[in-house]
Amino acid sequence: MISNVLYFLSHLQLYLLPLVETLGGWVYIALFAIVFMETGLVVFAFLPGESLVFFASTLAAITGSSLDIKILVPVFFFAALIGDTVNYEIGRNLHRLPLFRKFLSAEKLSKARAYFEKHGGKTVMFGRFIPLIRTFIPLISGSARMDYKRFCIYNLLGVLIWVVLGSSLGYFFGQLDFVQNNFSVILVSFGLISIIPGIMISLYHLIRNRQFI
């Protein structure tokens, strides 16, 4: 069984490529949904973001016609843009929930508003490049009543740079012979690395809840 698992992990491209060809256009819908949920719904902050953009673009370079980078870029762009906007709207309406008013005092809310009035633009724009954190920034922006037009401008710029940079690097990466010959190993390695922060945070909260620290 272990040998079968190791074979599967080291030959992922043999399974991924036929799967992508079989699903066809549904692949783009699935990718859109994952990026949208990761950016638009805080409960899905654990989902892959830039790693998905990067490796989907890498796979597009390897597969050629099965995945089109010209379609992937707008799919990722609009998924992230719409997701952030939805997240902002959720944050802007959180004050209606009694639970929200219980944990966020008027003083804390005032400080958050003052912060976003001064640093909101760069926070929204550059926060997009920080895993996990980027999912909460639009929510907090909405809760702090950051100007909507200002949020949209900086969010659009941040998403545009994030998608173009991730897609370009991934597509270039996928054209390298070394990557094409070792794609499965590289994909698994990056996948393991990407979940390390989430595991560390979970362990920290587990230890803290058990009052070891």
For 111, other C-beta atoms within 10 Å of its C-beta total: 12
What pLDDT sits at residue 203? 72
Which ranges of 93-182 would DSSP assign to H, the alpha helix? 98-103, 106-127, 133-143, 148-174, 177-181
Question: Of 5-14, 61-70, 84-93, 200-209, where does mean pLDDT reach its minimum?
Answer: 5-14
**Tens digit of pLDDT for each residue in 168-178?**
988 888 777 77
CA Rg value for the chain: 20
**Tens digit of pLDDT for each residue in 189-212?**
666 666 666 666 667 666 766 654
8-state DSSP, 94:
G
Q: Could you tell me if 173 and 142 are in contact, meaning their C-beta atoms sit under 8 angstroms apart?
A: no
Burial per residue of 144-160, b for 16 or more beta-carbon CB atoms within 10 angstroms, e otherwise: bebeeeebeebbbebbb
Percent of the chain with pLDDT over 70: 66
What pLDDT sits at residue 134? 85
Q: Could you tell me if 154 and 120 are in contact, meaning their C-beta atoms sit under 8 angstroms apart?
A: yes
Query: Is residue 213 over pLDDT 80?
Result: no
Burial per residue of 177-193, b for 16 or more beta-carbon CB atoms within 10 angstroms, e otherwise: eebeeebbebbeeeeee
Q: Could you tell me if 38 and 48 are in contact, meaning their C-beta atoms sit under 8 angstroms apart?
A: yes
pTM for this entry: 0.75
Residue 60 makes CB contacts below 8 A (sequence gap 6+) with: 66, 67, 68, 69, 72, 170, 171, 174
The torsion region of residue 131 among left (phi > 0), alpha (psi -120 to 50) and beta comes to beta
Q: Could you tell me if 165 and 33 are in contact, meaning their C-beta atoms sit under 8 angstroms apart?
A: no
The domain spans of the chain are: 25-179
**Tens digit of pLDDT for each residue in 113-161?**
787 878 888 899 988 888 778 888 998 888 888 889 999 999 999 999 9
- Residue 98 burial by CB count (10 A; 0-12/13-18/19+): exposed, middle or buried? exposed
